[in-house]
Amino acid sequence: MTTAWLVGLPLIAGAVVLARVVTRRGRSGIYILAGIGALLMVGAVVLLVAALTAGPAAAAGTATAAAATTSSNGAALLGAAIAVAGSTIGAGIAVAYAGAAALAVMSERPELFGRSMVIVGLAEGIAIYGLIIGIILIGKS
């Protein structure tokens, strides 16, 4: 099932970008979008068939428990990746705004350098918190 998502999400993202580009062509763009829709439908059916025909990893007892543990580990690793990625993106946005404001303040009043760098440092701390959460989640898996 995870493979279906790994294949399907880039396919959908690529189709959205291509549709945005094609819609600027006018009438011929509609025919191209119809073709893209047909390709997406075929891709969705292929992914559905792949997801439905995938059997369980093991048939009995301890092998099923091992498969459940592996699935649990995968969820913890996915959670760690989301925590790190989200906090890093948030920290990047925060540093962009705080850094721009700090540069503006320092150009007018250079004596406020220390105070403005503390604010930028606090924004960078967001990424560190996400990294710590990611490390904790990896340790739990």
Q: What is the pLDDT of residues 90-134, one digit of tens each?
A: 898 889 989 999 999 999 998 988 888 898 889 888 889 989 998
Q: What is the Cα gyration radius of the chain?
A: 24
Q: Does the structure show a pLDDT above 80 at 54?
A: no
Helix (H) or strand (E) holding 59: none
Spacing of C-alpha 81 from chain mean position: 8
Residue 90: both structure tokens together:
């948030």
Q: Which amino acid is at 133?
A: I
pLDDT tens by residue, 17-34: 777 777 777 677 777 777
Which pLDDT value is given to residue 70? 59
- The pTM score is 0.49
- Residue 59's pLDDT band (cuts 50, 70, 90): very low
- Reported for 85-92, long-range contacts at CB under 8 A and 24+ positions apart, including other chains, are 85/130, 86/130, 87/126, 87/127, 87/129, 87/130, 87/131, 87/133, 88/127, 88/130, 90/126, 90/127, 90/130, 91/123, 91/124, 91/125, 91/126, 91/127, 91/130, 92/127
Alpha helix ranges (H) inside 1-141: 2-22, 27-53, 61-108, 113-140
Percent of the chain with pLDDT over 90: 7
